A and B are shown apart, each in its own frame.
Chain A
Amino acid sequence: MTKIIVNATHKGGEGKTTNSIMLAEYCALVKKYKTLIIDMDPQANFSGRYIQMEYDPAYRGGKIPAIHPDYESNVDSEWDGRSSIANIFYGEEVVPYPTSIPNLELLPAHSHKLQEAEAVTKNEVLEKVHLQLKRFLELPDVRDSYDIIIIDTPPSKGPLTIAAVKAASHIVIPAQMEQFSIEGIYGMLQLWKQESYYRTKNNPIDLIGILPNQVRDIKLHKQFLEGLKMMKGVSDYVMPRVIKKRAIYTEILVEDANPKSIFELPPHNVARLEYESACQYIMERVFSHGKEKSISNQ
């Protein structure tokens, strides 16, 4: 079955998008999985890395995906040529965009439409938003087309993040080892707990864990990481991998970066090895779900 990983934490700047990028490129470039990436964040940074995003003429500062390469204005009379994941909330068709990376397809964000979905408060509509992504990703058409789906979420605990969590089979919580970040972890664990109450045995939500991110060689980071590892139960969810703070992780995001992906760096590059090891850990957990548990229970 197609696995769905969501990178989530409601605190901003923890590395959700970076981590989504790394995982997506690892899956497509290194593992050659048929990968779909979904951008639920109205900021649309994740989308912008893979396709041309345009400024929304109607809402200043907002972004909309460029015209789809397959769009033909004389044939598609019903379609304006743009497609985003937000369409699912409007009962409109979604058409994934190809990217320059083989095996990697994208359902981009649409700032204004996503913001509207995020702002929903009326109960009946809210429930629809919460379940819409899950329903969409359960469609046989979607399931049959991809091995893995990676979702990037906005820095909030709102309807969009909840929708992503409800659709997910696995959660990764990237977090810095700092005060506000740990509080962010708490909030996300609440969301995971709440969702796990509702899941059946055949359809569990598996918390892969907290990925310590942007870790520096300072006492605060070391002691907070140790602190997390000392906590009863929580220690099982601190990933045994750490992403250090390195300039290369942000340099690689620049538009004309060369190479464009961490996984195109020489195989022995320290940064590549570090992120590859984290991605490998995550993917092993994702695809050995169930097996891992029975081993640790013995």
Chain B
Amino acid sequence: MTEPMIQVEGLRKSFGKRAAVDGVSFGVPAGSVMGLLGPNGAGKTTVINCLTTLLRPDAGRVSVAGFDVERDPAGVRASIALTGQFAAVDQLLTGRQNLVLFGRLLRMSRRAAGERATELLARFDLAESGDRGVREYSGGMRRRLDLAAALMVPRPVLVLDEPTTGLDPRSRHAMWRVVRELRSAGTTVLLTTQYLEEADRLADGIVVVARGKVIATGTPEELKGKVGVSVCEVRIDDERARRDALVVLLDRWPDVTEGDGSIVVPGGDARTLAEIVRRLTEAGVETDNVAIRRPSLDDAFFALTGHGALGHHDGSPAASNGRAGAGAGR
């Protein structure tokens, strides 16, 4: 089509001597979801801040909906909706008061803002709590209200900075559903995330950033493809049984590797899978799960950077889901 909805070319931004963003380029086609994926401190938020006119780029060109962030920041601001890393809503006001305030700041009449607030509260499952103080809201409810506030006036571009960080799985899925709905309504979405699963599930395209530079771009499938072929994953929680299995499998495939509670056998095809099961059964080793796994984005990141994955390995649902839930269907 024509020019991408968001165009970033050679963006640089330093704070003192530290280059937070060091020559980042990417484009987001209209109506698609782009995931900006990277660990903490990779420069994701700085890119967002330049793109939303909060920071002036040191070098490079950034345009949103055809407006240049430096020459026409007002045009950019009139084209975007931003929700940041925190729920930027007032605790002491009610959900409805928050929405009405933002609507009226965007030149809606009191009445129009009230009607739109009612509509969004219902859509974001907040109708019953709309007149309660936000301080009584759960984290997930606050994020939904925050997103609703950004959507008071529909904009062609929605920017989400880590929209689900710190949310429980249910709230995360609710957020994902909303992003998908917005996309099907034609909104162009740029979201940053450190969760591989999130980018994988939501994004049409992914830009992987690390230390201020783009280290890979592509569709989730392409990025996963860069890691190579599929593998078979044998999941055994019991450590002794796993060691027994490792001995059995090493006998047949010298290049098996031991993962976190699992053993990875190269060659993700049905015959390998069947042979693994047969050999382990013959040896009397019990397994928790054996599955063909396409490489996860976690693997992709590891392969791309050659070092540790995306931080937050511990509690991140992405990391654990990427491993445990990676069944044959992916």
Question: Does B associate with A?
Answer: no
Residues of B that sit less than 8 Å from A by CB: none
